[in-house]
Structure 1
Amino acid sequence: MLVTRALRSISSRTSSTTRLALTYSRRYSSASSSPPQIRINAARLQSTVEELANLSVAKPLNHSYMPNPPSRSPGSTDPRSYPLPTGTSLLPPTTSLRHYLTTTLGVTPLIDDLGSLFLPLASSPRPSAPSIALGGPLDSSPLPLLAALEVVRTLQDYAVETTHPITLIGWSCSSGSRFPRALLGSGVWAGHVGVDEAWGIREVGSDHAGRRTVKACLRESGWLGSLDASVQLGAYFEALPTKWIDEIEIGTGAKAWRWIEVSVKGGDALAAAGRCVLAGREVGNMLNGRVSTGVFEAANAGFAGTPREAKFSLYIMGKNVDEIQEEALRMFAKIAFEEGGVVEKVEVVMDEPELRFDEHCIAAIRESLEDVSGGGLLGDHETGLLGPGVSVGELGEGTVVENFVESPMDAVNTARRGVPTGVVMVPEDNGPEEWALGAQVLLGAVLEWDRVQGAAGNFTERGFLSM
């Protein structure tokens, strides 16, 4: 499982005895003239990772805040014990993350039509002002949401009073691993996908009749809601786990990408589809893009049979998506012919053009990252987060790297809807220290954006849209 694997990976690489000692030196409240040091609690973040990694949804859960609690198992005597099958979106371990978020902050969540969670927090004397939202997906790596949660907890630790309210958002059905469309929850929220269309999407699987719809799965899991309340977003910030970087970077925009489904029929369709997947990857490399396959299905032909039908997905990313797709399909037709079949169908599932994130959000992240990179020691000499006496200067003080995001993420949909959006790119495999730093940068960006926009009195600008 994506969530469990990510949690156990990060949990295994550190102890829980460190505490991040970074300072955000700017004004954190319009009413404060001498703010204290506002530090992310790295030990608590690590503890949260470990706690969530070990959380079992088989334990009794409190469903009192859920809009449609699932029915009890037959014969169950505990009203808090419910059947929760295994899987990805809307299923364990993602349901554990949902329960954790909704209970740990003591806030009654708003739950929309696709099961996305909105947790508005009382952090501002102006509750009617547009919210600064922090969020991430509920069904892939939990690190973005756990970093956002640590930012919220830190604001509460220091009783920070922001000009804008803070809202924590968990996006539902983002990964595309269970349902064949990525970023589904945020896509519906942003108006790019209709609710009825989203509800009708069926699970990935070879038995079409046995696949449940999104709506059926939402109802079964108890997370089918209806967001009637209005929550205005002034800005949205998200941390993104990124494989291809070695240090924290600023996401200045998102590269164009496309998701297509290819069906091969006749001959040895399984062999043809397998060769096509490998050929697609080579085409992506050759044309300076990236091509990968996340869904692969083949008809069951029995023990000694030859599958006559196969289908696979193709994720294409780069500045020349059209060229990559054209060359890949040319190769696929040749391969299918060699295996005695044909490429029967090519369907574009998602097609996202390149976009640029908001300049004010980028500036806020840049200010925060510069503060962190010039903030002195990353911990004391006894328990320094990166080792005794290691200073940021030794790691490249003053170097702020900005780059385009190369992975699908929900921030793309908030940006397309017109909400000012900022992204902090964090190395995925560098361990929890990097995520503590990422959370610190996220915290600083939120405070900087709140300070600048609050001072300017920007409460009704473009992008302050109701959900």
Structure 2
Amino acid sequence: MSIRLLRSSSHHQCYRPRYQAFSTTTRWRWHTSELDGEKMKSLKVHRDRLMKDIHHTAQWGTGERWGKASAETGMSRLALSDADKSARDWFVKTTEELGCKTTVDAMGNIFAVRPGQKDGPPIYAGSHLDTQPTGGRYDGVLGVTAAIEMLRVLNDNWVETEYPVGVVNWTNEEGARFPISMVSSGVWSGSIPLDHAHNLKEVGSGTATMKSELERIGYLGSTPASHEAIPMAAHFELHIEQGPILESERHKIGIVQGVQAYRWFTIHVKGQDCHTGTTPFNVRSDALLTAAKMILQSHRAATKHGALASTGILTLKPGSTNTVPGDVKFSLDIRAAADKTLDALEQDLRDDFALIASASDVAGLNTHGTPGLPCTVSWSTDSISSATTFHSDCISCVEAAAKVIFGDETEKLTKTMTSGAGHDSVYTSKVCPTSMIFVPSKGGVSHNPREFTSEEDCTLGAQVLVGSVVECDRRRVRG
């Protein structure tokens, strides 16, 4: 295939493409407005090509091995690490070879745009390439590689969209290295201040900030991280479910209606260091024991409210076998389908933690133990994401794309869902129409090296993604 690139005579500073693509062949080209249901079926995702990209990119940040096969390793590609830089370089090179113009913004988000027949903000598909420290090959990565496969499918079939379409790789979606998840899409949407994001320090004892690491790996872009500088007409994100529902109910595609609310906190408990052998229980101000009671109570309270609560990070001082810890910090992640549920849960936990710190007995936590001396407790808020409802027009595009694939079995093989995990689509939905597509996760496992989605399901998800973007472009022409 040969594509010539013709420089446009003028362009809008924000979004007008600099290049117009056209074919040098006499073969008939399709415009998306001409693609009816039968023609849409011919836009086939290449399964082997998609899977090759997923496994090829796993060389950068290969994680724990969980099986004997070559692809049976997890991922450890933290945001803005050297491995992340290599994956980013691959993203830029690959999309530019497919005829895209790439732009990097001040948060390192990468936007690759394929020109359309008309000027206007692109319709984007994408996700993220960073992973958890002990993550798998599909979380985020599938969404990016499937969006790149979308570009290839359009090129293979000589399809020219009416408006530009693009692929986006968002920075630090996981929040695993810099402790705000979806932070860069949050800056882009205007929800998180740029300075706050740039000054985030890496988790643990390191001193690197987001800005210093963006500079170090060469991805501190000059374009503002803003939906005004880089607008989107719509945003579609393919993602693994990260839960057991689709697999257990034998559905192939989740049509995501929205995302549940969540809040992240750091809880700081201060007691008094003392000797483990010379200090009786009743005169200890044991910060770790107090924190442990709080963590258990968070589980109990979340259960009562029909919500979720988890602690994933715990640090303590002084860290000596024969010294009772006097200083403990732990993370607290609470989630629920409705904001009002989290309001009630958070208030209950603030009340309970204060009582626990005072050495009072809360819900029998002191039963069969020896009450000690009080500690102090303080809360800091790390991240808040309200419950999100996606745009009905984008949801309808996903439904239409699934209908093309599944026909009369659409109702049987698809399921409307609410996401239990946060995604960059939470922030894009604040400023542009957005929706998500889920595919099954084997055993509901995610954030784990054993995370797995079958080749068939990855391909079906990518097929729905292609159809959703094309359908959105078709409807855009019709207004």
1:427–1:434 Cα contact (<8 Å) kept: yes
C-alpha distance 340-97 of structure 1, shift in aligned 2 (>3 A): farther
For the residues of structure 1 that align with 2:109 and 2:344, how far apart are their CA atoms? 35
C-alpha distance 232-333 of structure 1, shift in aligned 2 (>3 A): closer
2:77–2:130 Cα contact (<8 Å) kept: no
Q: How does 1:38-57 map to 2 (within 5 A)?
A: 38-55=43-60
2:401–2:464 Cα contact (<8 Å) kept: yes
2:170 aligned with 1:137, yes or no? no
Q: CA deviation at 1:28?
A: 6.2
For the residues of structure 1 that align with 2:77 and 2:242, how far apart are their CA atoms? 24
For the residues of structure 2 that align with 1:350 and 1:282, how far apart are their CA atoms? 22
1:260 match: 265
C-alpha distance 397-353 of structure 1, shift in aligned 2 (>3 A): closer
AA aligned to 2:477 is: G
Q: How does 1:28-177 map to 2 (within 5 A)?
A: 29-31=32-34, 35=39, 37-55=42-60, 88-106=78-96, 107=100, 109-122=102-115, 124-126=116-118, 128-140=119-131, 141=139, 142-177=141-176
More strand by share: 2
2:255 match: 250
Q: CA deviation at 1:265?
A: 1.1
C-alpha distance 342-322 of structure 1, shift in aligned 2 (>3 A): farther
Secondary structure, counterpart of 1:105 in structure 2: helix
AA aligned to 1:91 is: S
For the residues of structure 1 that align with 2:151 and 2:254, how far apart are their CA atoms? 22
Secondary structure, counterpart of 1:176 in structure 2: coil
AA aligned to 1:232 is: P
AA aligned to 2:126 is: G
TM-score normalised to structure 1 length = 0.75
Secondary structure, counterpart of 2:196 in structure 1: helix
C-alpha distance 355-163 of structure 1, shift in aligned 2 (>3 A): same
C-alpha distance 281-148 of structure 1, shift in aligned 2 (>3 A): farther
C-alpha distance 178-282 of structure 1, shift in aligned 2 (>3 A): same
1:262–1:343 Cα contact (<8 Å) kept: no
Secondary structure, counterpart of 2:323 in structure 1: coil
2:186 match: 187
Secondary structure, counterpart of 1:30 in structure 2: helix
C-alpha distance 155-350 of structure 1, shift in aligned 2 (>3 A): same
2:31–2:162 Cα contact (<8 Å) kept: no
Q: Which whole-Å deviations, capped at 9, do the CAs of 1:409-442 have from their partners, x for residues lacking one?
A: 111111112x011111222334232121111111
Q: How does 1:361-372 map to 2 (within 5 A)?
A: 361-372=394-405
For the residues of structure 2 that align with 1:293 and 1:153, how far apart are their CA atoms? 42
For the residues of structure 1 that align with 2:296 and 2:155, how far apart are their CA atoms? 50
1:56–1:96 Cα contact (<8 Å) kept: no
- Which consecutive unaligned segments of at least 5 residues does structure 1 have? 1-26, 58-85, 376-392, 457-467
Q: Which whole-Å deviations, capped at 9, do the CAs of 1:232-255 have from their partners, x for residues lacking one?
A: 311110113222322321111222
1:28–1:35 Cα contact (<8 Å) kept: no
C-alpha distance 363-199 of structure 1, shift in aligned 2 (>3 A): same
Q: How does 1:196-211 map to 2 (within 5 A)?
A: 196-205=195-204, 207=205, 210-211=206-207
1:236–1:422 Cα contact (<8 Å) kept: yes
For the residues of structure 2 that align with 1:265 and 1:87, how far apart are their CA atoms? 34
For the residues of structure 2 that align with 1:212 and 1:268, how far apart are their CA atoms? 32
Q: Which whole-Å deviations, capped at 9, do the CAs of 1:274-333 have from their partners, x for residues lacking one?
A: 343343233223321111223322223334322211112212111200122223334434
AA aligned to 2:32 is: S
Secondary structure, counterpart of 1:188 in structure 2: helix
2:424 match: 410
State the superposition RMSD in angstroms.
2.4
1:282 match: 300
Aligned residues: 377
- Which consecutive unaligned segments of at least 5 residues does structure 2 have? 1-29, 63-75, 132-138, 272-284, 360-370, 443-452
C-alpha distance 132-321 of structure 1, shift in aligned 2 (>3 A): same
For the residues of structure 2 that align with 1:451 and 1:87, how far apart are their CA atoms? 37
AA aligned to 2:88 is: R
Report the more deviating stretch, 153-162 or 47-56: 47-56
For the residues of structure 1 that align with 2:373 and 2:438, how far apart are their CA atoms? 45
Instruction: Choose from 299, 302, 324 the match for 1:306.
Output: 324
Q: Which has the larger radius of gyration?
A: 2
2:434 aligned with 1:421, yes or no? yes
